[in-house]
Amino acid sequence: MGPGEQLVTIAAVLLGALTTHLTTFIMERSRNKYALLTRWDDRKIDAYEGYVDRVRAGIFLAVQLYEHREGLRPSGKPESDLHEELREAARLRGRAFERVMLLGGDSVVEAGHELNAEALAIDWQADGRTGGTLDEWRTRHRAAFRQINEFHEAARIDLGVQASVKGEKHRQRDLVLPSSRRDGDTAGTSGA
């Protein structure tokens, strides 16, 4: 084998080694990028789920306080305790939303701001800072649960979930109330 053939062989070996190294580097980089994206998606799911859970927990505490204050369903707790529980729920909702703001995209954060506004309106009517009728109370709840659905939709898009829960196949839901409450009777409980 002559010197020219040896140089071609050495060049081919070096080119093969370089190609193998580059291919391995690119595949490892791609794998690390995918692992990082998956890790962030897991954290986003936790943040989004935790936030919605805090919103719903606060709404249910607001219902308990509102029903107690309005004499619809007295609680076994003093009203001051109910107020304190609602304040703590609002604080925890705020903390959960901070995680959403750190991890979520623009549309998710904006949907969260809208949901926070609806949840605050419920809190304020529940604790007496704003007045309102039972119908207004129910309207606030409908708006809040619509905003929860909007938040879910924005979160699904942000996470790359292809399916949707909007449109004709997922019709609009209303508050579930006993028939006597739907007909305007104010006795019993409000349905939130």
pLDDT tens digit string along 44-57?
A: 999 999 999 999 99
Please check whether residue 170 lies inside any domain of the structure.
no
In a domain, 31, yes or no: no
Residue 186 lies in a domain: no
Please report the pLDDT score of residue 188 as a whole number.
44
| Residue 173: inside a domain | no
pLDDT, position 168? 59
Give the model confidence (pLDDT) of 130-149 as tens digits.
Answer: 999 999 999 999 999 999 99
Q: Confirm whether 115 is domain-assigned.
A: yes
Residue 62 lies in a domain: yes
Q: What is the pLDDT of residue 187?
A: 45
Structure tokens at 135: 């119908």
The total of structural domains in the chain comes to 1
Domain membership of residue 60 as a residue range: 43-161
* pLDDT confidence of residue 190: 43
Q: Is residue 140 part of a domain?
A: yes
In a domain, 72, yes or no: yes
Residue-by-residue DSSP string for the chain: --HHHHHHHHHHHHHHHHHHHHHHHHHHHHHHHHHHHHHHHHHHHHHHHHHHHHHHHHHHHHHHHHHHHTTSS--SS-HHHHHHHHHHHHHHHHHHHHHHHHH--HHHHHHHHHHHHHHHHHHHHHTTSS---HHHHHHHHHHHHHHHHHHHHHHHHHHT----S-STTSPPP-----HHHHTT--SS----
The ranges of the chain with pLDDT < 50 are 180, 182-183, 186-192
